[in-house]
Structure 1
Amino acid sequence: MATAVREQLAKAKHSAVHLEMRDSYMLDDPEFIAWQQGRRLDPADRESWWRSWLDVVTEATGRGVVMRRLRVVSEPVTDYIRYEYDVTFPNVAAGEDVRWLPRSRAGDLLLPGLDGWVMDGRVVILHHFTGEGQWAPGKMEVREDANLAARYLTAYEAAWERATPHAEYRPV
């Protein structure tokens, strides 16, 4: 996970929400490629799937930061989204609350144009990707802007209310 997110999460006191709206990211990721070739995480073998990002999540949620991740997805889902679904249980185990919202149920919502994070209702981290889902130049933009954060949170909360909790969602 990028340094900007880790730094802001270390400072977060109350909340961290993450909005993901792409149907694929970094298709050249070695973990995704291994998944395509049949590798699956074993929930019983924590050492095989625990990674440093999960330490960051555990530390933040241990301080009382409520972490939520919302994935807006097209259905039928892409292979990449099926991969994300399969590897989400570690995020949940670390303390994140994850929900899924099919794009077909979001038609009347006004969602932001960029993926991103909102920390404590004041810091927004915008993610910039190319059309192919690779990081674009500049990757992330950190803004301390309560008005922008409020707009993101309004959209986020409306989508969150419609979304399905990870434990109940089944990719189509």
Structure 2
Amino acid sequence: MDLITSAQRDELFNRFERSAFHLELRDDYGSPVEDTPYARWQRGEPDDYAWLDPWMTLMKRVTGEGRTVRRVRVVTEPHSPYVGWENSLTHLNAAAGEDIRWLPRHQLPVGLVFPLSGNDWWLFDDRLLAVGHFDAEGRVLGSELIEDPESVAECIRIRDLLWASAIHHTEYKP
């Protein structure tokens, strides 16, 4: 399986035309760019959020051009420390134009099976998937690009199902 880097995946945001959707299924992620800010948060220290600037700039640009960026975060309650930190930052993503919703894992439809081996994925313009692959510590190994119509259709179905059930960030009270 060929994997692209996170930087290559982020380049897809320069090419999509209408919509990008991210399904997040993990309660913990490991990202070198987040290690220091996350450790500061755990110690109760302030953050200038400068490490988020490249993503926020990208999101402001693409959403300012009228394209949509949405996420559903499927999370365990009570939250893991990482998800608590992520929740505390989500207002910044929203300010940049992302529409983020939360879905507690215990509220998932009974019997729901996630496609793509239960990995996270980005869906661009209902035609291209960037499926995240992670190591045992939650560090991103890369993303697999998939354009198979059956896989894309299943992810569209899951997206629509979960989006309808998920709670908007401003209304979500963990």
Q: Same fold (TM over 0.5)?
A: yes
Counterpart AA for 1:36? Q
Please tell me whether residue 169 in structure 1 is matched to residue 172 in structure 2: yes
Partner of 1:91: 93
Please point out which of 64, 71, 84 is paired with 1:62: 64
User: How many pairs does the alignment contain?
Assistant: 165
Partners of 2:50 and 2:11 in 1: CA distance = 26
Partners of 2:31 and 2:12 in 1: CA distance = 26
| Kept in 2: contact 1:12–1:60 (CA 8 A) | no
Partners of 1:57 and 1:147 in 2: CA distance = 29
Partner of 2:19: 15
CA shift digits 1:74-110 (9 cap, x unpaired) = 0111010000000111110000000000000004233
| Kept in 2: contact 1:15–1:65 (CA 8 A) | yes
Partners of 2:22 and 2:97 in 1: CA distance = 14
Partner of 1:154: 157
Secondary structure at 1:51's aligned position in 2?
Answer: helix
Measured after TM superposition, the shift of residue 69 of structure 1 is: 0.9
Q: Which runs of 4+ in 1 moved over 3 A?
A: 47-50
* Seq. identity, %: 37
CA shift digits 1:15-42 (9 cap, x unpaired) = 0000100000017611111110113458
Secondary structure at 2:170's aligned position in 1?
Answer: coil
RMSD: 2.0
Please tell me whether residue 141 in structure 1 is matched to residue 147 in structure 2: no
User: Which ranges of structure 1 fall in alignment gaps of 5 or more residues?
Assistant: none
Secondary structure at 2:77's aligned position in 1?
Answer: coil
| Kept in 2: contact 1:20–1:116 (CA 8 A) | yes
Counterpart AA for 1:33? A
CA shift digits 1:11-69 (9 cap, x unpaired) = 11110000100000017611111110113458xxxx75751111111111122111101
Please tell me whether residue 24 in structure 1 is matched to residue 8 in structure 2: no
User: Which ranges of structure 2 fall in alignment gaps of 5 or more residues?
Assistant: none
Measured after TM superposition, the shift of residue 3 of structure 1 is: 1.5
